[in-house]
Each structure stands twice: as structure tokens, then as C-alpha cells.
Chain A
Amino acid sequence: MTKKNYGFGLGLRTDHFVDVIETQPNVDWFEVVTENFMVAGGKPKNFLHQIRRDYPIFMHGVSLSIGSVDPLDTAYLSELKKLADEVEPLWISDHLCFTGMGKINSHDLLPLPYSEEAINHVADRIIQVQDFLGRQILLENVSSYLTYTDSQCSEWEFISEIVKKADCHILLDINNIYVSARNHGFDPLDYINAIDPARVKQFHLAGHSDYGDYVIDTHDQDIADPVWDLYEKALVRFGATSTMIERDDNIPPLGDLIAELDIARGISHRVFGNDIDLTQRRARG
């Protein structure tokens, strides 16, 4: 099996725009939150275009609401396609969740019941989205804090069935697996071992807040040791996979995040040695 591995990326955040442009850090690509750049113009968008000249970009959305019972938002899809035409991202991703209904947006990634009804509903909508965009998308597993009584299968069975039916790919968030495992009491390795490696195109790594009884996916901390351990096991299972750190709050200096990214590089090196084929290593001037 060959897989495109784009190396090690970071979530591009406002605090780092200038640093990235001025210092050209050792990062293979940046991931942007799609909706932040669905604006007419201005400084952030200009920064994105500047950074795009030097780095490949992944586009990561939070508003597709693929699981919602509302009709697909065609205006949103048109804007998504327009931005993708501008940015030419390596991947477009969003989350396996719903974010609202009745035209009200919770601005949160709300869990779906793991039911046949939801599988069919989501798969059908992914097919429509992919047809519209003319490309495959990645769906990310979200962290969750509750299970509906309607659920008929595990989360890993749910996501596996959907991606097979819709023929899309997976952005596997390793931290989210850990967070959900703690909150629901399952073994995270059961999750990882059940996912088809051919479907996994990207990893997210992030920090969380541990409250003892439960864990919240806050993205405002360094990556915790158990998540690093799980990342190593995921590399063994899925092979070398594009990996990035997603920090959304309590944002440290860019150098600190790159140091954290170097930990991921070190783990990858430990697993694969130097035998990693980077599909599209960034050209350096």
C-alpha cells in the first residue's frame, strides 16, 4: 500500500502569521480553519496567500455539519469550493458530527447517534459534497462526552462504515480517540486497530484538560504523554501519515509548537528510521 505522506504540519494561527512569513519555519505544510478565510479580503487572507506561496495548505472546516438533518448548505459549499480554487489545498477536511439544525448553529462539534439511519444519512451527504467539490474529502473523528441510547455500534464501526459507503477518507485525531476512550471507557487501541489503514490520510495531535473523571478536548495544552504513546501505535498501524499539531487556545510562541512537532518527528523516526517517503517535501529557497 502506498500512501501520500506530506510530513509534519501545524495549524496556522493568527498569532503566528508574521513569524511564519519572516522566519520560514521548518514545517512541511500548514492547516487553516476554512471558515476563517471565507471573508472578502483583509489582512488574514492576505497572510494566507503569502504563506501559500511557500507552504502547501490543508483546509480544515468546522461548519459542513455533515450529520445535520438540515439540507446541505449550498451557499457554504460554493464558498468552500471558491476558497479551495484559490488555495489549492492538498486536502479538504471537516468533522463527523452535526453543528446545528433549524438554521441555528451551535458552533460545536456535536456527536451523532451511531445508528444505521445516521450512517446512511451521513454517507449520502458526503457523496453529494464530494460530487460538488469534485474531490474526496477527509472526515475527522470528534471527541465526545456522551453516547445516545440509539447507538447500535461503536464509534469505530460507525466511521468505518460511513467512509466505506461514501468512499471518503479519514483524518484521525489521535487526541480525540484518547479523550473519547477516557470518557466512554473503551480501549483506544480497539479503535485504532479497527480502522482501515488505507482510509487514513492525516493525523491530528492536540492537548486536552484532564479532570480526573473525564477529559475535555481543549486544544490549549501541550500534547499529553498517553497521546504520544497512542500516536506511536497509530504510526505502526497506519504507516507514515501526514501529521499536525492543532493548538487553538493558550497559543505558545511558534518555536514551542515546532519543538513539539519535533517530538512527533522523533517518534516517527523511531518507528520508521529514515525510511519515510515524503510525497511533497516543501521546496526550500
Chain B
Amino acid sequence: MKETLFERQQQMMNYLLQGKPTIKDHIVQQGAITVDTRLHIYRNAYQQRLRETIDTDHPVTGVYIGDELFDQLVQQYTISYPSSYRSLRHFCDELPSFLADQEPFSEHPQIAELARFERLLLTVFDASDAPVIGLRELSGLKAPDWPNMKIQFHPSVRVFESPWNVVSVWQAIKDDLPPPNSLPSSEACLLWRNQQRMTEFVHLNLPELCMFREFRQGSSFAQVCEALLNVVPDDELSACAVNVLSKWAQHGLIGSLYGNE
């Protein structure tokens, strides 16, 4: 019974996505507007909407690659990855992997990395809300509870590690400055949404990255300190650990402490 409806919807989608013309035979010719024009209104809107979404979600990547490559990106990505999401918010979720795999973009791996950083900013932007603990709660932890103390980070907290200096490139373009040359580097950034719900990020030094990785995988403070010994001299360990934890608490990165239940 639903065969006609099914067929018509399939034909309409095939037209929108691939320009297949079979739907034309099922559209009424009315007045001065041709069937082609009527259909084109829909296809144009479809393509325009997806283009705007890529542009809105990845403005810096767009500027970085320039208009010509951006046109190519839009054309190839919208064909390769038609949206299977109900919200356009996720339409570009596969864009970084597309850019990493697809020529000519794959010839410049920093493009995919830049897009990956922009996606992560969006993830942080609408991650779950949750309470955080501040410096006072952290410093209120009793001495015997420190060794077993573990950290649950705020749901928005993410780390971005890249073999390219794309965060510096992103920042320069955002500030309307000429971007630095793309260079292989080992950048690591911590991203989070602050208490005013603004997205922030800072570069991580090696001790910070070490501590974040350890806490993230569920290590206790004692285990974190042990790992930290690989990158920090003995006599600086305590000061370094306390300093990093204080910074995280001040920035509102720590959701809760556990491990001493």
C-alpha cells in the first residue's frame, strides 16, 4: 500500500543527493515555473544548507584552505557523507577523518588536524553540565586521603594532542593574523567549558599532560606522582603536582574527588 509514497520519497532523495532525474516525471507542470526550477529550489536549498553548516562549524579550516579548496571540500564531503543525523550539529562529525583520507586534503595532514581541533571545541561547547569543586574543596582534603585521591573531570574537559602545530594556526587565524607555517610538533592542549560556559583551552606542558593522562585513566594521586617522577625531578614533584591541581581547580576542571569512600 505504501509503495507509491516510498518510491516518491526515494526519487526525491535521489534527486537531492545525486541529481538523479526520475522524480521529474512525477511533478506536475504548473504555470510559468518549470518542473526543473521547482526541483532546483529544493536541491539548491539542500546544498546551501550543508555548505553553511560546514562553514559555520569549521570557519578556521575554511579560511586556512582558501575558497577553492573549500568548494572542493563541500562538494566531496556532502556526496561522500550525506547527513544521517537529525541535527546538523553532527553533520561534520566525519569531516576530520574524511580530510585525513581524501586527496588532495590528505596530502596536507595538518588540515584534518585543524578540523579535528574545531570539532573538539564544539564537543566541549555542548557537553553535559555538572558541578565542579574549587580550590577550597581541594585544599580541604585531609592528608591521609591524598594518596588514594582520584579525580573525576568535568564532562566538558578534553585533551587535544596533535603532531602538527594546528592550535597555533587556529589561534592566529581566529585573531586575524597570518598563521604560522604548519610544522610537525607535539602540541597538547586542554580544553574545557568554564563556569561562564565559555570554551577555553591552554597548552599543556609535559608534567601537566602526564598528570592529566594518569588521572583520566583512573590513577590515584600516589600513582600519578609516581608517573610524574619520569618527567619531573624529585625535589620539584610536590610543588609541581600541587600547582597543576590548583590550576585545574581554579579553572573549574575538577568535577569531583573520589577514591576514599
Binding site for B on A (CB under 8 A): 35-36, 38-46, 63, 67-69, 73, 76, 98, 100-108, 110, 112-113, 115, 117-118, 120-121, 145-151, 183-185, 213-214, 216
29 A-B pairs whose Cβ atoms sit less than 8 Å apart in the complex: A40-B129, A41-B127, A41-B130, A42-B125, A42-B197, A43-B193, A46-B197, A67-B5, A68-B9, A69-B5, A69-B9, A73-B86, A101-B10, A102-B13, A104-B84, A106-B13, A107-B46, A107-B49, A107-B50, A107-B83, A113-B5, A113-B8, A117-B1, A117-B2, A146-B39, A146-B42, A147-B30, A148-B27, A149-B27
Query: Given A102-B13, A115-B5, A213-B32: A35 and B27 within 8 A (CB)?
Result: no
3 interchain residue pairs of minimum CB distance: A41-B129, A40-B128, A42-B126
Q: Which residues of A contact B79 (CB under 8 A)?
A: none
Cβ-defined contact, B27 with A104, below 8 A: no
Q: Which residues of B contact A117 (CB under 8 A)?
A: 1-2, 4-5
Cβ-defined contact, B13 with A42, below 8 A: no
Interchain CA distance A216-B82 in the complex, whole Å: 24
For residue B210, CB closer than 8 A to chain A, the reply is: no
Q: Which residues of B contact A105 (CB under 8 A)?
A: 82-86
Cβ-defined contact, B8 with A43, below 8 A: no
Query: Given A101-B10, A145-B38, A147-B30: A39 and B89 within 8 A (CB)?
Result: yes
For residue B237, CB closer than 8 A to chain A, the reply is: no
The smallest beta-carbon distance between B62 and chain A, in angstroms, is 19
Q: Which residues of A contact B4 (CB under 8 A)?
A: 113, 115, 117, 150
Interchain CA distance A43-B125 in the complex, whole Å: 7
Q: How large is the interface on B (under 10, 10 to 19, 20 to 34, 35 or more residues)?
A: 35 or more
Query: Given A38-B87, A101-B10, A105-B86: A118 and B46 within 8 A (CB)?
Result: no
| CB proximity to A under 8 Å, residues B121-156 | 125-130, 155-156
Cβ-defined contact, A214 with B41, below 8 A: yes
Cβ-defined contact, B41 with A145, below 8 A: yes
Query: Given A105-B85, A107-B50: A145 and B30 within 8 A (CB)?
Result: no
Query: Given A149-B26, A214-B33, A214-B37: A40 and B127 within 8 A (CB)?
Result: yes
Interchain CA distance A112-B26 in the complex, whole Å: 12
Interchain CA distance A113-B89 in the complex, whole Å: 29
Q: Which residues of B contact A214 (CB under 8 A)?
A: 33, 37-38, 41
A98: nearest chain-B partner, CB-CB: B9
A100: nearest chain-B partner, CB-CB: B13
A40: nearest chain-B partner, CB-CB: B128
Interchain CA distance A30-B85 in the complex, whole Å: 26
Cβ-defined contact, B35 with A146, below 8 A: yes
Cβ-defined contact, B9 with A40, below 8 A: no
Q: Which residues of A contact B197 (CB under 8 A)?
A: 42-43, 46
Query: Given A45-B126, A103-B84, A110-B42: A150 and B10 within 8 A (CB)?
Result: no
Cβ-defined contact, B6 with A69, below 8 A: yes
Interchain CA distance A214-B31 in the complex, whole Å: 10
Complex partner residue of B9 from A36, A41, A101, CB under 8 angstroms? A101
Interchain CA distance A93-B169 in the complex, whole Å: 43
Query: Given A41-B126, A213-B33: A151 and B13 within 8 A (CB)?
Result: no
Cβ-defined contact, A102 with B45, below 8 A: no
Kindly supply a per-residue 1/0 record for chain B positions 1-31, scoring 1 wherever the CB is within 8 Å of any chain A CB and 0 otherwise.
Answer: 1101110111011001100000001111011
Interchain CA distance A98-B82 in the complex, whole Å: 16
Interchain CA distance A277-B9 in the complex, whole Å: 43
Cβ-defined contact, A216 with B41, below 8 A: yes
Interchain CA distance A184-B1 in the complex, whole Å: 28
Q: Which residues of A contact B37 (CB under 8 A)?
A: 213-214
